[in-house]
Chains A and B, each alone.
Chain A
Amino acid sequence: MDNSAPPLNSLVSVRHLSFSRGDKKIFDDISLDFERGKITAIMGPSGTGKTTLLKLIGGQLHPGQGSVTVDGQNVHLLRRAELYNLRKRIGMLFQSGALLTDMNVYDNVAFPLREHTHLSESMIRTLVLMKLQAVGLRGARKLMPNELSGGMARRIALARAIALDPMMILYDEPFTGQDPISMGALAHLIKSLNNTLGLTSIIVSHDVHETLLIADYIYVISEGKIVGHGTTAAIRQSASPWIQQFMTGAADGPVPFHYPAKDYIDDLLSSGKRY
């Protein structure tokens, strides 16, 4: 893998990034590029640090080593005000939705507009209804977050993430908890947002099928390393056992299903200790 020269047109570039949680090394010197106007997917087993990577890109976590550059700015060297200005141009869909629980759906989607613009309430109404229509939940505008299903909450969160028309959206598991119909509709929405508004999208997902359908470029991460990357077509063709296992969902292969642990039989037989 050649990481030395960033492609000219990358909006986000991650360089030699290392990050640890306590003793556990989550990333070990990884480099990735996210091209402008494209959909780039990050795939990998649960617990490899995909969410962590998005938080590093958004400047919520600080890397041990290496750098993250977004639109020419080194995220972790920015001053607070500059970082906030950058974030206004980034939408992020949290894995949990992260809706504000003391407001209804309408106010949640209106929240970034009210915080960052001086638009009139009637303008805000138009925009909010447009965004809600896009995710198919215009009829749910009066519901409170606790009255939504997990899948609905995530779609509302998506409407909120696109409220300010950002230059880039980070999606953390947008498809989880969606039925096949809304999954298809969401994939279509992400694709069309990307194409019509010229957004850059970074998608973290396990849903191989939907992701391959819309992504332009794919990184596969496992155990702190990038185990494969390439265009969607190349990934489909790839002979790499890591990628093949991930695409086909086989339990046996180089990608471990288990969190690192000592030998299973030894563990069962070593009675006496509690853990």
Chain B
Amino acid sequence: MIDNLQNLGAQTRASFNKLGRGTFFLLQTLSGTLSVLLRPRLLVNQLYSVGVLSFLIITISGLFVGMVLGLQGYYTLSRFGAEETLGVMVAASLVRELGPVVSALLFAGRAGSALTAEIGLMKATEQLSGMEMMAVDPMKRIIAPRFWAGCISMPLLAALFSAVGIIGGQLVGSGLLGVDEGAYWSQMQAKLDFQDDIVNGILKSIVFGFITSWIALFEGYDAIPTSEGVSRATTRTVVNSAFSILGLDFILTALMFGDH
């Protein structure tokens, strides 16, 4: 009993400790922002490896999710004779929820895990300490560009996901199931609200990009510098990002759409 309590206490302390280190890490990262602006080359390189290399998985997943939405939506809506509104349903689900959330989950698995492994291995092979000894601050040179690349890529990837998904829904809806193409697009244009749907969706993906990049980089930086430590950190990145994304999604949705 006492043992359990002690354990619980130790674990709680460890979590708070980690939260503290994580916050300090974030502040240090943010303080490296200026040097990212001064050296855009570093940012561009990272935008490529974090963002551009995630294009394929985002596009393909977006297409399939959109196609499934087209199918499911059609079967439900046609029962009420409302298949004309398929476009609205597909677009709203994607732009509000599935676009930001699913692309963030994919991003955590594709780019987040890669970032953690990269930073963790750089730590394990003393590259970070070597840089410090060469008077190059790894927070500025390595961490900050990757962080901002993640923050910038995420909303763009989410937008790509939604756009491709809407096309997928249209392919299935009008191509396969015979929903009027004009209705698909015009209903969507008429019913989607810029502020409510699009801006809120973008806000969500910005938050997810921030949180995922932070978790991925911090887990790598905080990893125990061994192969096992890095592998555990990579797992933690994916798991913790997924929890944070889904939890925050609920909170953000409640805040954004709560007063309707």
Which A residues are within 8 Å of any B CB, using their own CB?
A: 55, 58, 60, 84-85, 87-88, 90, 92, 94, 96, 98-101, 111-112, 115-116, 160
Determine how close the nearest CB of chain A comes to the CB of B128; give it in whole angstroms.
Answer: 9
- Stretch in B84-92, B101-109, B134-142, B150-158 touching the partner: B134-142
Residues of A within 8 A of B122 (CB): 101
Known: A96-B126, A100-B127, A115-B141. A85 touches B135 (CB 8 A): yes
Number of A-B contacts (CB under 8 A): 50
Give 8 CB contacts A-B under 8 Å. A84-B135, A87-B135, A88-B135, A94-B126, A94-B129, A111-B136, A115-B141, A116-B135
Contact B141 A87 (CB under 8 A): no
Instruction: Verify if B40 is at the interface (C-beta below 8 Å from A).
Output: no
Nearest 5 pairs between A and B by C-beta? A98-B130, A87-B135, A98-B126, A84-B135, A92-B133
A115-B136 in contact (CB<8A): yes
A59 to B229, CA, bound (A): 25
Binding site for A on B (CB under 8 A): 121-122, 125-127, 129-137, 141
> In the complex, given contacts A60-B132, A112-B135, what are 9 additional A-B residue pairs having Cβ atoms less than 8 angstroms apart?
A84-B137, A85-B135, A94-B129, A98-B129, A100-B130, A100-B131, A101-B122, A101-B127, A111-B134
Check A60 against B135 for contact (C-beta < 8 Å): no
Q: Which residues of B contact A92 (CB under 8 A)?
A: 130, 133-134
How far, in angstroms, from A58 to B130 measured CA to CA in the complex?
11
Shortest distance between the CB of B44 and any CB in chain A (Å) = 15
A162 to chain B, nearest CB (A): 12
Question: Whole-angstrom distance between the alpha carbons of A92 and B137 in the complex?
Answer: 16
**The residue from A88, A94, A115 contacting B130, defined by CB atoms under 8 A apart:** A94
Q: How far is the CB of A127 from chain B (nearest CB, A)?
A: 15
What are the residues of chain B within 8 A of A88 when measuring CB–CB?
134-135
Distance, CA A60 to CA B130, complexed state (A): 10
CA distance A256 to B132 in the complex (A): 34
Q: In whole angstroms, how far apart are the Cα atoms of A73 and B135 in the complex? A: 16
Residues of A within 8 A of B127 (CB): 98-101
A98 touches B125 (CB 8 A): yes
Q: CB within 8 A of A60: which of B133, B136, B137?
A: B133
Instruction: Give bound CA distance, A90 to B136, whole Å.
Output: 12
CA distance A88 to B13 in the complex (A): 38
In the bound complex, residues from chain B placing their C-beta under 8 Å from that of A160 are 134
A115 to B35, CA, bound (A): 12
Verify B132–A115 contact, CB threshold 8 A. Answer: no
A60: B residues at CB distance < 8 A: 129, 132-133
Residue from the list B121, B125, B134 in contact with A87, Cβ < 8 A: B134
Complex: A100 Cα to B122 Cα, angstroms? 8
* CB neighbours of B131 from chain A (8 A): 100
- Measured between beta carbons, the chain B residues less than 8 angstroms from A115 are 134-136, 141
**In this complex, what residue of B is CB-closest to A111?**
B134
What are the residues of chain B within 8 A of A85 when measuring CB–CB? 135
Complex: chain B residue closest to A116, CB-CB: B135
A100 to B142, CA, bound (A): 11
* Bound form: Cα–Cα A85–B126 in Å: 21
By CB atoms of chain B within 10 A, which of A55, A96, A116 has the most?
A96
Chain A minimum-CB-distance residue to B121: A101
* Residue with the greatest number of chain B CB neighbours at <10 A, chosen from A88, A98, A99, A101: A98
Q: Which of A58, A94, A112 contacts B136 (CB 8 A)?
A: A112
Q: Which residues of A lie under 8 Å from residue B130 when comparing CB positions? A: 92, 94, 98-100
Neighbouring B residues of A111 by C-beta, 8 Å: 134, 136
- The docked-state distance in angstroms from the alpha carbon of A96 to that of B127 is 10
Inter-chain CA distance A88–B141, complex, in Å, is 16
Provide the bound-state CA to CA distance between A58 and B122, in Å: 19
Asked whether A96 lies within 8 Å of B135 as measured between CB atoms, the reply is no
- Contact present for B129 and A112 (CB under 8 Å): no
Q: A101-B125, A101-B127 are in contact. Are A58 and B137 (CB under 8 A)?
A: no
Q: In the complex the two chains form, what is the Cα distance from A99 to B129 in whole Å?
A: 11
Residues of A within 8 A of B141 (CB): 115
Tell me whether A58 and B133 are in contact in the complex, defined as CB-CB below 8 angstroms, given that A96-B125, A115-B141 are known contacts.
Answer: yes
Question: CA of A115 to CA of B134 in the docked complex: distance in angstroms?
Answer: 9
Complex formed: what's the CA distance from A87 to B129 in Å? 12
Q: B129 contacts which chain A residues (CB < 8 A)?
A: 55, 60, 94, 98
Per the bound structure, the CA–CA distance linking A111 and B130 in Å amounts to 12
Partner of B133, one of A87, A96, A99, A100: A87
Q: In whole angstroms, how far apart are the Cα atoms of A253 and B121 in the complex?
A: 40
Q: How far is the CB of A172 from chain B (nearest CB, A)?
A: 10
CB-CB nearest in chain B for A84: B135
Docked complex Cα distance between A33 and B127 (Å): 29
Point out which of B122, B131, B136, B137 has the most chain A C-beta atoms below 10 A from its C-beta. B136
Whole-angstrom distance between the Cβ of A176 and the nearest chain B Cβ: 15
